[in-house]
Amino acid sequence: MKKVESIWAELSAKQVELSEEKVELSVAQDLQKGITKVSAEIKKMQSAMSSFEKAQDVFEDAKDALRSAMRDSGDVENAQIDIVNNAETSAKELGVDVSAIKGYKELVDGIEEIQVLYKEMNQLL
């Protein structure tokens, strides 16, 4: 009987050892799955950050282009206003209706369009 008890005790100890190994293996597998998931998430986050940084660079370039266009439009507008003013003065001196001068209306309309676009651009900044 003691022999059976001794064998039973020995088998129980081995069963505990095997159970411990199963638990260790299960934990190790869970850790590996966790590492895989974390690695995938890190790559996804890095990719999203990279895409955002590229978009941000494009946006900054667009803002710079907008500012440049606005500066240039001011110079063009002022020069064209001078031309319109000269046309109006000359027409008045000659007693001619300024709107009868070819190109006058188109230039005035163009200046107004520049002013509208400038306001719209300014709102974007």
Q: What is the mean pLDDT of the chain?
A: 87
For residue 118, what is the DSSP state? H
Contact 83, 111 (CB under 8 A): no
Give residue limits of the domains in the chain: 2-124
For residue 125, what is the DSSP state? -
CA distances from 18 to 4, 14, 21, 23 (A): 21, 6, 5, 9
Per-residue model confidence as pLDDT tens digits over 59-115: 999 999 999 999 999 999 999 999 999 999 999 999 999 999 999 999 999 999 999
Distance from C-alpha of 84 to C-alpha of 86, rounded to nearest angstrom: 5
Contact 121, 74 (CB under 8 A): no
- Is the model's pLDDT at 13 over the cut of 70? no
Amino acid 31: pLDDT: 86
